[in-house]
Amino acid sequence: MKKKILVIEDNPMVVKSLEFKLLKEGYDVSIAIDGRSAMEQLEANNFDLILTDLMLPFVSGSQLIEHIKKNHPNIPIIVLSTATQEDIITDAFNMGVDDFITKPFSPNELALRVKRSIGSFKNQFSHK
Amino acid sequence: MDNKNIILIERQDEERANLKKKLTEDSFEVVDFDNSMSAIQWVMENGNPKLFILEELSSPLDGWKTLDYLRTELGVKTPVLITIETETEIIVKKSQGFLTKPYSDDTLVKIKEFLHQIESIKETDELPKPYSLDYLDELSDGSLEFITESLALFNDSISEKLTQLQEALDQQQFTEIRTIAHSIKPSFQMLLNDHGKELCQSMEFATKPEDLKTLVQELKLEYNRIKKQIAIDFPTAHI
């Protein structure tokens, strides 16, 4: 069965690129363009991975991560960041995110990190 | 002998004197005019300078008409910087750039960078394209459909965001400006347009309204440069 990835990002070019690459890699992709829509999708579906920006309309990145960690602690999170967000990325790691990818992402790096994040969580739970 | 003449057309005495002083102190030789016809007359009598700085709202011929006259009537190929005051859609051509007022030390830096750029591309006689498809090409393994759809997304989404950016600027909503700049920065990066990226980055950290105003204006111009080039490169793609 295809792994399901939720992409939370408001830049349409980034969304299109992520969707294109992830579909090509064989994943099932859902898109949320703001935090509110992301929360709705999280309630209605099961995801294997979340890729999220940290500056989103309506809900801040930290609020969103807090919500995911509280209500969906088993879903790994990869943060989509920009090169100028070191402090925000550090805060995100402190809140429990698993990895980050800098926008615009390297296609190969995206594939590797997504695979690794999904794989590491699968292994973590299979060892328990 | 190296031609160091710069012709400066500027109606406002104070601005003209200010920029002339900065350029002269930096070893340029400036011939300044408060009207475009006197400048054209000077060129006809004395030959071409190294650079023209034309005020967009100069009179009796405005900056664009002056440029057109110089190019078509006199066959002048000298690089030109237009000092803009309105959000005119700039048609970027070879050896042409723009400045904004008030003139400052940054203006001098821009003039020198422009001249450097012109000199460095003389061999190819072409200004570099304002965007590259290398990233989108690599990402999509050369899918033309993906590339044209991405370019259409760039055109539409950035146009909308620039409108929002202007509204946020008018209402002095600085957090909103930073959010929008952050959001659109990757779009410029994906087209490998460093200038747009840097403008967005500066907007994320700028605190002075006058700086933000200039940055927004420059970003609009950069967007127009890219849009024009896309229209030239993809004339039938309806982007």
How confident is the model at residue A39, as a pLDDT?
Answer: 92
What predicted TM-score, i.e. pTM, was given to this entire model? 0.67
A17/B contact by beta carbon, under 8 A: yes
Q: Where are the domains of chain A?
A: 4-127
How confident is the model at residue B125, as a pLDDT?
Answer: 46
How confident is the model at residue A75, as a pLDDT?
Answer: 95
Residue A124 Cα, gap to closest chain B Cα (Å) = 31
Which chain B residues contact residue A82 at CB under 8 A? 182, 185-186
Query: CB distance B138–A21 less than 8 Å?
Result: no
How confident is the model at residue B139, as a pLDDT?
Answer: 94
How confident is the model at residue A122, as a pLDDT?
Answer: 53
CB distance B230 to B151 below 8 Å: yes
CB distance B237 to B148 below 8 Å: yes
Considering chain B, what percentage of its residues have pLDDT values greater than 70?
Answer: 89
Model confidence over B84-103: pLDDT tens digits? 875 555 555 556 788 888 89
How confident is the model at residue B1, as a pLDDT?
Answer: 44
Considering chain A, what percentage of its residues have pLDDT values greater than 70?
Answer: 90
Query: CB distance B190–A14 less than 8 Å?
Result: yes
What's the distance, CA B98 to chain centroid? Answer: 4
Mean pLDDT across chain B, nearest whole number? 86
Instruction: Copy the structure tokens of residue B96.
Output: 């042409």
Instruction: Copy the structure tokens of residue A99.
Output: 């990895």
Interface test with B, best of A7, A15, A17 (most B CBs within 10 A): A17
- Decide yes or no: CATH 3.40.50.300 for domain A4-127: no
Across residues A82-90, what is the average pLDDT?
71
Across residues B56-70, what is the average pLDDT?
86
Mean pLDDT across chain A, nearest whole number? 88
A55/B contact by beta carbon, under 8 A: yes
Is the complex ipTM more than 0.90? Answer: no
How confident is the model at residue B123, as a pLDDT?
Answer: 45
CB distance A101 to A80 below 8 Å: yes
Residues listed for chain A: 128
- Kindly compute the dihedral angle of the four CA atoms of residues A21, A54, A64, A27, in this order, to the nearest 10 degrees: 10
How confident is the model at residue B86, as a pLDDT?
Answer: 57
Model confidence over B155-202: pLDDT tens digits? 999 999 999 999 999 999 988 998 899 999 999 999 999 989 999 999
How confident is the model at residue A127, as a pLDDT?
Answer: 44
Considering chain B, what percentage of its residues have pLDDT values greater than 90?
Answer: 48
Interface test with A, best of B153, B156, B192, B201 (most A CBs within 10 A): B153
What's the first-to-final CA gap in chain A, in angstroms? 22
pLDDT grade, residue A128 (50/70/90)? Answer: very low
Residue A107 Cα, gap to closest chain B Cα (Å) = 6
Distances (CA, A) of B118 to B47, B157, B199, B228: 19, 31, 21, 20
How confident is the model at residue B208, as a pLDDT?
Answer: 84
Q: Is the pLDDT of residue B28 over 70?
A: yes
Nearest-by-Cβ selection for B187 from A13, A20, A55: A13
For A106, residues 6+ apart whose C-beta sits below 8 A from its C-beta are none
DSSP, collapsed to helix, strand or coil, labels residue B168 as helix
Q: Tokens 């400006």 label which residue? A: B177
Report the C-alpha gap between A8 and A26 in whole angstroms: 19
How confident is the model at residue A93, as a pLDDT?
Answer: 85
Model confidence over A15-51: pLDDT tens digits? 999 999 999 999 999 999 999 999 999 999 999 999 9
How confident is the model at residue B237, as a pLDDT?
Answer: 67
How confident is the model at residue B228, as a pLDDT?
Answer: 86
Report the C-alpha gap between A120 and A76 in whole angstroms: 9
Residue B75 — left, alpha, or beta (φ > 0 → left; ψ -120 to 50 → alpha)?
A: left
Report the C-alpha gap between B190 and B194 in whole angstroms: 10
B146/A contact by beta carbon, under 8 A: yes
How confident is the model at residue B44, as a pLDDT?
Answer: 81
Across residues B61-65, what is the average pLDDT?
85
Model confidence over B113-168: pLDDT tens digits? 888 887 765 544 455 688 999 999 999 999 999 999 999 999 999 999 999 999 99
Across residues A55-62, what is the average pLDDT?
80
The DSSP code for A2 is: P
Taken in order of first residue, the domains within chain B and their CATH numbers are 5-120 (3.40.50.2300), 134-233 (1.20.120.160)
Q: Is the pLDDT of residue A56 over 60?
A: yes
Query: CB distance B186–A11 less than 8 Å?
Result: yes
Which chain B residues contact residue A12 at CB under 8 A? 153, 157
Across residues B1-23, what is the average pLDDT?
89
